[in-house]
Amino acid sequence: MLRQISRDVRVNLKDRLRDVRDIIRQSRHDSDANLVRGATSHLPPFPGKGIEGLLGHAASAVDEALSIAESFVPHERPAKIDGTTVKGVGIYFPAGNEERRSSAERVFRRDMYYLTRTVLAALKIDNARIHEADFAAVHAAMRKRHAGLLAAIPARPAPAALPAVAAACAALLVECLNHRPVRFVEAEPDAIGDRTLDIACLAPVVLACGLATTASDGAPEPDMLETAVLAAGVRHDRIVKACAKANPVDELTPVFATLLAHLP
């Protein structure tokens, strides 16, 4: 119990520090002016002329100091983030003891963070923040609510197991949408309940996970994530409609099954 509490605290602290780092970077004196206004729009105007510039230079100094400090701290960041980073469902949700599951949860939220960040960059979305703690909640929800779907996937999925993989992917996307690990900084009030943008960011990652699961040689290709981004974009409207149904997992399963069957 204490280990779980400690882990949750560490993950949430990491998310908060990343949020602060994002604000600092947006406030640099050499950053885009529109981003600076967006990051500080909730603050009252500064009384002195030019004080914004001084604060911008201060933010730049703090950002550079943090970058130097980070270079001396070991990271869990993958050496290269592409299609080879994503792993199959069986790796992220293995059977076994609590230690093995805990290790898989750590790998899952780390990979999901970096893969989602890569997808955001591919979609040219730079006003979003990603929280690992929410991906940890997604992992727990999959274990609790969809254990049967996970157990239906064999250790070495054959073509006959494709529907089971598609169902697990459908459940994974639904849980990601429920916990919203991606937060859009400048979202309009009317768009808070709109999950279209969330789907655009998360569906490619989930699809890539399914492709890694069904890979015949068990080795994902470097362009797998790029392929997933393009394929999810083509089927975006269909995925959005399926997510809006009363039983989104059942509606999404055939969509993912079709994509998994036809993508390399």
Residue by residue, pLDDT tens for the chain (264 residues) are: 445 556 676 676 766 666 665 666 555 545 554 444 444 454 455 455 455 555 555 555 555 554 554 444 445 666 678 888 999 999 999 988 888 999 999 999 999 999 999 999 999 998 899 999 999 999 999 999 999 999 999 877 777 889 999 999 999 999 999 999 999 876 554 444 579 999 999 999 999 999 999 986 656 688 999 999 999 999 999 999 999 999 999 999 999 999 999 997
Q: In the structure encoding, which two tokens stand for residue 185, read together?
A: 């900084």
Strands (E), 33-142: 128-130
DSSP summary character for residue 86: -
Q: Which residues contact 169 (CB under 8 A, 6 or more apart)?
A: 89, 206, 207, 209, 210, 252, 256, 260
> Is residue 140 classed exposed, middle or buried when 0-12, 13-18 and 19+ CB atoms within 10 A define those classes?
middle
Torsions phi, psi of 42, nearest 5? Answer: -85, -5
Q: Which residues contact 29 (CB under 8 A, 6 or more apart)?
A: 53, 56, 57, 59, 60
**Burial call 172-200: b when 16+ CB within 10 Å, e when fewer:** bbbbbbebbbbebbeeeeeeeeebeebbb
Q: What pairs with residue 184 in β-bridges?
A: 128
Quick count: other Cβ atoms within 10 Å of Cβ 165? Answer: 27
Can you give the pLDDT at residue 126? 85
Longest dimension (CA), the chain: 69
Can you give the pLDDT at residue 232? 97
Q: In the structure encoding, which two tokens stand for residue 47, read together?
A: 């009384």
